[in-house]
Amino acid sequence: MRNAKQQRRKVAVITGTRAEYGLLSCLMKSIQSDPDLELQIIVTAMHLSPEFGLTYKLIEEDGFEIAAKVEMLLSSDSSTGTLKSMGLGMIGFADAFDRLSPELVVVLGDRFETLAVAQCALVKKIPLAHVHGGELSLGAIDDAIRHSITKMSHLHFVAADAYKQRVIQLGENPENVFNYGAPGLERIAKLKLLNKNELEEKINFQFGKQNFLVTYHPSTIDVEENSRALKGLFEALDHFPEAKIIFTKANADEMGRLVNAKIDQYIARNSGRATAYTTLGDLNYLSALQLVDAVIGNSSSGLIEVPYFQKATINLGKRQECRLRATSVIDCPEVSAESIIDALNKASTKEFKRLLKTTISPYTKDATSEKIKEKIKSVDLNAIVKKHFYDIQMQETLAYEQ
22 and 128 both lie in a single domain: yes
284-319 pLDDT, tens digit per residue, is 999 999 999 999 999 999 999 999 999 999 999 988
Q: In sequence order, which residues have a C-beta less than 8 Å from that of residue 221 and are 6 or more positions away?
A: 138, 139, 140, 141
Q: In what order do the strands lie in the sheet with 9-15?
A: 66-70, 37-44, 9-15, 104-108, 128-131, 155-158, 177-179
Is residue 402 situated within a structural domain?
A: no
60-84 pLDDT, tens digit per residue, is 999 999 999 999 999 887 889 999 9
CB 43 within 8 A of CB 113: no
**In the structure, what pLDDT confidence band is assigned to residue 2 with cuts at 50, 70 and 90?**
very low
Is residue 186 situated within a structural domain?
A: no
142 and 23 both lie in a single domain: yes
State the CATH number of the domain containing residue 273: 3.40.50.2000
Q: Residue 226: is its pLDDT beyond 90? A: no
CB 107 within 8 A of CB 128: yes
Q: Residue 4: is its pLDDT beyond 60? A: no
Give the DSSP letter string of 124-155.
HT--EEEES-S---TTSTHHHHHHHHHHH-SE
333-384 pLDDT, tens digit per residue, is 888 999 999 999 999 999 999 999 999 888 988 899 999 999 999 999 999 9
118 and 218 both lie in a single domain: no
169 and 271 both lie in a single domain: no
Q: Residue 36: is its pLDDT beyond 50? A: yes
Give the residue from 22, 37, 36, 98 showing the smallest Cα distance to 288: 22
177 and 292 both lie in a single domain: no
Q: Which of 100-114, 159-173, 381-395 has the lowest mean pLDDT?
A: 381-395
212 and 275 both lie in a single domain: yes
Is residue 305 situated within a structural domain?
A: yes
388 and 306 both lie in a single domain: no
Mean pLDDT of the chain: 92
Give the amino acid at 335: V
343 and 373 both lie in a single domain: no
Is residue 79 situated within a structural domain?
A: yes
Give the residue from 83, 133, 292 showing the smallest Cα distance to 205: 292
Q: Residue 3: is its pLDDT beyond 50? A: no
246-272 pLDDT, tens digit per residue, is 999 988 777 788 889 999 999 999 988
Q: Residue 394: is its pLDDT beyond 70? A: no
351 and 376 both lie in a single domain: no
133 and 15 both lie in a single domain: yes
- Torsion sign (Cα): 117, 120, 122, 128: negative
User: What's the pLDDT at 141?
Assistant: 84
Is residue 384 situated within a structural domain?
A: yes
Query: pTM higher than 0.75 for the full model?
Result: yes
**3-class SS at 349?**
coil
Q: Residue 150 sits in which domain range?
A: 4-181+365-397
Query: Cα(283)–Cα(213) distance, rounded to whole angstroms?
Result: 15
Tell me the HSE value of 291 on the side-chain side, using a 13 A CA sphere: 25
User: What's the pLDDT at 37?
Assistant: 98
Is residue 129 situated within a structural domain?
A: yes
215 and 298 both lie in a single domain: yes
CB 43 within 8 A of CB 35: no
Structural domain total, the chain: 2
**3-class SS at 200?**
helix
**In the structure, what pLDDT confidence band is assigned to residue 402 with cuts at 50, 70 and 90?**
low
Mean pLDDT of 147-169: 97
382 and 338 both lie in a single domain: no
**In the structure, what pLDDT confidence band is assigned to residue 399 with cuts at 50, 70 and 90?**
low
Q: Residue 220: is its pLDDT beyond 70? A: no
User: What's the pLDDT at 1?
Assistant: 34
Is residue 337 situated within a structural domain?
A: yes
Query: Cα(400)–Cα(262) distance, rounded to whole angstroms?
Result: 59
Give the DSSP letter string of 79-132.
HHHHHHHHHHHHHHHHHHHHHH--SEEEEES--HHHHHHHHHHHHHT--EEEES
Query: Cα(97)–Cα(229) distance, rounded to whole angstroms?
Result: 41
Give the residue from 352, 354, 351, 347 showing the smallest Cα distance to 236: 347
Q: Residue 241: is its pLDDT beyond 80? A: yes
Is residue 39 situated within a structural domain?
A: yes
**In the structure, what pLDDT confidence band is assigned to residue 225 with cuts at 50, 70 and 90?**
confident
